[in-house]
Structure 1
């Protein structure tokens, strides 16, 4: 039981807000903020350990999200994105240790800020055609890879899904199903790489009560929020996330 108290109060002062942010992201409300969870935890523990601690908590959040949203997802999008995401997990397994999580996070941060800048300068037109499916497969693969390394898969796949202008609930549900499957696929590779151990599992257990809190708060809001404000808040979260990830890589 000593593992329950293996970390000091400074760890939990950062870890608890990180878990709540991830929960908000899993609900779809404040979705851009979810990629901040591992960088925040990395302030107090190594990045691979931070990712390993978050994985069981993501499982709890995924169960909650699926129970509430699975019937609302866009099945056509899932059929396109899910194989790509699983391919990204396989690539992440092979390259784990070759590319540092900070390098990957920095690339994700730079791409996120570039994407937001393009959307600001060249806002999508109402009658614009949807992005090509090959782009969805490519970004789904990138999302699976960055999710495996640093649980930062939200920004890449969002580049494809956002221009489709789904309703907030359909967007949220589609992301929930996609990342639930991607997160499930990480367990065996994480165990093979030695990231799942007793210490990390006990730490996840101590943080588990806070996992449903962010999901519940987000789901409460996402069913009531105006679509315009939903996407405004999403973009704000993406901007803060991109800036944080890029700053960590440069620093």
Structure 2
């Protein structure tokens, strides 16, 4: 049983709002921080089960302001690659235990921070306009896999989309569409694998207002808030939570 006490909501509500802001305003790249944060206080499967319906709700409410503004070839490549990635995630889930999932979520969190810092320091350069369709399919497969096991599909998708030199709103709209489709594809396997329970779905009802507030803030922040400020906060959160999850998995 999940204890629905003050401590739980003090962690869960900000985590869900943060996910909404990231998905609706900043390309989904950091939305998975919410699952990493929840996994600190819950078994990873429960954390992922709670977050998926809320992420899907954010997807639905994010579609309208960005409707039709996405890049069709890039979205198609990521989606077609993402579906086999979801299948790979299903295969891993069948053999994974909680500590393996904690380690994986923690490792993805730290890898995301390391990649962003390396890019900021010029150690990694993404050439604008590069990236053929097969690279999009590959990025989509990785995104589908990491999305299934940790809701962390944003970073691999970002690598491909940034290489395409998309305008800010086109980039954002493309991620909204891609992860709406991938999250829908994850829903049925999550149900069959027992990741959803009556308890996690009831908790979602309590957290719906936080998801809607985060979505509204994200659409607003997309126009007015500096990405550098938002992601600086994200890096700190992911570094702390990722390190803690890896430590818990190993000890």
- The TM-score normalised by the length of structure 1 is 0.86
Q: Distance in 2 between matches of 1:175 and 1:128?
A: 18
Q: Which residue of 1 aligns with 2:232?
A: 236
Q: CA deviation at 1:242?
A: 5.0
| Distance in 1 (alpha carbons) for counterparts of 2:235 and 2:3 | 34
Instruction: State the Cα distance separating 1:97 from its structure 2 match.
Output: 4.2
Question: How far is the alpha carbon of 1:187 from its aligned partner?
Answer: 1.3
CA distance in 1 between partners of 2:160 and 2:144 (Å) = 14
Map of 1:40 onto structure 2 = 37
Q: Which runs of 5+ in 1 are unaligned?
A: none
Between 30-39 and 153-162, the greater mean CA deviation after superposition: 30-39
Following the alignment from structure 1 to structure 2, what is the Cα–Cα distance between the partners of residues 11 and 237? Answer: 21
Residue of structure 1 equivalent to 2:93: 96
In the alignment, which of 71, 76, 95 is matched to residue 74 of structure 1? 71
Provide the residue aligned with 1:247 in structure 2: 243
Distance (whole Å) between structure 1 residues aligned to residue 60 and residue 184 of structure 2? 11
Task: Specify whether residues 237 and 31 from structure 1 end up closer, same or farther in structure 2 by C-alpha distance, changes over 3 A only.
Answer: farther
Structure 1 residue 184: deviation in Å? 0.5
1:9 maps to 2:6: yes
CA contact 2:25–2:220 (8 Å) conserved in 1: no
Alignment RMSD (CA, Å): 2.4
Q: Name the CA shift for 1:244/1:220 in 2 (closer, same or farther; >3 Å).
A: same
The answer to whether structure 1 residue 157 and structure 2 residue 157 are counterparts is yes
Query: 1:189 aligns to what?
Result: 189
Structure-2-length-normalised TM-score: 0.86
Deviation at 1:163, TM superposition (A): 2.8
Q: Residues 80 and 222 (structure 1 numbering): CA distance in 2 closer, same or farther, change over 3 Å?
A: same
Q: Which of 14, 17, 24 in structure 2 is aligned with 1:20?
A: 17
Alpha-carbon distance in 2 for matches of 1:242, 1:41: 12
Which residue of structure 1 aligns with residue 174 of structure 2?
A: 174
| Shift, 1:197, TM fit | 1.8
For the residue of structure 1 that corresponds to 2:31, the secondary structure is helix
Q: State the secondary structure of the residue aligned to 2:40.
A: coil
Q: Is the 8 A contact 1:16 1:207 kept in 2?
A: yes
2:231 and 2:210 map into 1 onto residues whose CA distance is 25
Contact 2:31/2:152 (<8 A) preserved: yes
- Which stretches in structure 2 are left out of the alignment for 5+ residues? none
Are residue 121 (structure 1) and residue 126 (structure 2) matched? Answer: no
CA spacing shift, 1:62–1:155, aligned 2, 3 Å = same
